[in-house]
Structure 1
Amino acid sequence: MPEARAQERAAERRRTLGQLIRYTLIGGSGVTLDLVAFLLLHNWAGMHEQFANAISTTLGITNNFILNALFTFERRDRIVVRFLRFYAVGLTGIVLTYLLFLVFTDALGLDANIVKVGSLPLVLALQFVLNRKWSFA
């Protein structure tokens, strides 16, 4: 029996690692969409960084939800509830990035583009854990 349990734990670790890899790859497409939209809205259209961030992040969240529902967590049930949860988790990224803008851009004068790029790995890690445990549980 202990060997069977060890095999189950190993299989779960492999499954989690596979999900993390797919989540990261899909996240890359969402990050790219988010960043391109942010740069266009903020630098080209002249939109304030907070508004540009809210719009660009929403685009990335929607992209990532669709792809993660299909390929990472393979869950297609309760789609509206799952999207609302996924979006709520996505809002944590907006809030975290907002706070980073306040500290690093507004208070310390760093370029908003650098702060946006620097926030992405932290936001990705936080959201994977929350989405795996809540949105797609």
Structure 2
Amino acid sequence: MTAPAMATEDMVRAGTRTGTDAPAGGDTPQGTGTRTRDLRQLITYALVGGSGVLLDLGAFLLLYNVAGLHEQVANVLSTSLGITNNFVLNALFTFGKRDRLLRRYLRFYAVGLTGIALTFVLLAVFSRGLGIDPNLVKAGSLPLVLVFQFALNRKWSFA
């Protein structure tokens, strides 16, 4: 596909038309359908993310508080569990992609590693540096990581 054709296709998916008769704001029936699909996708992603957050946080609490693992080790293990859960559910329900699963999983996991790195830094700064309870730091980091990862996964892992 040529670059102009790809750009036109992207604009159509974004809810805009290329002609001069396009209403402002992409208020075409096609644009409305695109926005509805995008909203549905975001809601599903958030629900899937919520299940991953609960799994991640629950595993972290068990690994750190019960098993006595170091907070950084507990974070890597719990986040990896959440990432894998979210990949499977997003592939099936959010993005409906069942092709190139290994490639998509590796990309999804790479995005997940950014979340591990971000949480690692937050734990180091706020828990080790400022003495804030690691449980609170971990819980507080989750919404920030979720939003960041949605943008990356939508544009890269499930494109």
Unaligned 5+ residue runs, structure 2?
1-20
Where do 1:60-99 residues align within 5 Å? Answer: 60-99=82-121
Residue 15 of structure 1 and its aligned partner are, at CA, apart by 1.2
Counterpart pick for 1:12 among 15, 34, 42: 34
Aligned length: 137
Whose Rg is larger?
2
| Correspondence 1:104 to 2:151 | no
Unaligned 5+ residue runs, structure 1?
none
Q: Name the structure 1 match of 2:75.
A: 53
Q: Identity percentage over the alignment?
A: 64
Tell me the C-alpha RMSD between the 2 structures: 1.3
TM normalised by structure 2 equals 0.83
- After the TM superposition, list the runs of 4 or more consecutive aligned residues in structure 1 that deviate by more than 3 angstroms: none
Residue 11 of structure 1 and its aligned partner are, at CA, apart by 1.9
Residue 102 of structure 1 and its aligned partner are, at CA, apart by 1.1
Which string of whole-angstrom CA distances, capped at 9 and with x for unpartnered residues, describes residues 17-74 of structure 1? 1111001101111111111110000000110000000000000000000000000000
The amino acid that maps onto 2:130 is: L
Q: Name the structure 2 match of 1:39.
A: 61
Structure with greater helix percent: 1
The amino acid that maps onto 1:36 is: G
- Rounded Cα–Cα distance in structure 2 between residues aligned with 1:61 and 1:128: 12
The amino acid that maps onto 1:2 is: A
- Rounded Cα–Cα distance in structure 2 between residues aligned with 1:81 and 1:39: 31
Q: Name the structure 2 match of 1:2.
A: 22
- Indicate the SS of the match to 2:97: coil
